[in-house]
Amino acid sequence: MLHLVVGLPCSGKTTFAKNLEKEIGALRLTPDEWQLRLFGQDLDHADHDWRHGTIEDLMWQVAASVLGHGIPVILDYGFWAKIERDDYRSRAETLNVATKIHFLDTPKEILLRRVEIRNELNKDQSFVIPPEKIIEWHAAFEPPDKEELHQDETPAT
């Protein structure tokens, strides 16, 4: 099964993904961990989005291989847009793998509180994010609706 972890920064995605990883024995792929390790705090760098996309592409190659061996995979990408979620569901279907969405629906006020704490305490483990970015991203985020959340796919046989 391919698990898609959906939510904005500070919604608890990575904590959730780490717990799920232990629970089901899955491979967890979290792009921010790789990006921070490779490039540091590059959120304001002109190449940040390109780097992030490249890391996600590499992670998908790993995920597809692991899924092919019958091992569950957790993609802790955020998946802010429905089109992204649909794309990965389609990729999983091509591999004859089921998908499941895990949506962390966290109110904007809590995200803003958490980003302040995160920025202060976790500079080595997560990106420092200006609170105004949370507001901007919250407005752009496309949460999954009830239908999308309940359309877990069964692979074709």
| pLDDT on residue 118 | 83
What pLDDT score was predicted for residue 39?
Answer: 86
Q: What is the pLDDT of residues 94-108, one digit of tens each?
A: 999 999 999 999 999
Mean pLDDT of 1-13: 96
Find the largest Cα–Cα distance for the chain. 50
Task: Specify whether the backbone of 71 is left (phi greater than 0), alpha (psi in -120 to 50) or beta.
Answer: beta
Is pLDDT at 5 greater than 50 in this prediction?
Answer: yes
Supply 49's token pair.
Answer: 């989005």
4 and 29 Cβ atoms separated by less than 8 Å = no
Q: Residue 156's pLDDT is what?
A: 44
Q: In the CATH hierarchy, which top-level class contains the domain 2-149?
A: alpha beta
* Mean pLDDT, residues 74-97: 96
- Read off the pTM: 0.88
Q: What is the pLDDT of residues 32-77, one digit of tens each?
A: 888 888 887 777 789 988 998 999 999 999 999 999 999 999 999 9
Average of per-residue pLDDT values in the chain: 91
pLDDT band (50, 70, 90) for residue 157: very low
Which residue ranges make up each domain of the chain? 2-149
Higher pLDDT, 152 or 49: 49
Confidence check: pLDDT of 155 > 70: no
Asked whether the beta carbons of 104 and 16 are under 8 A apart, the reply is: yes
The pLDDT of residue 45 is: 85
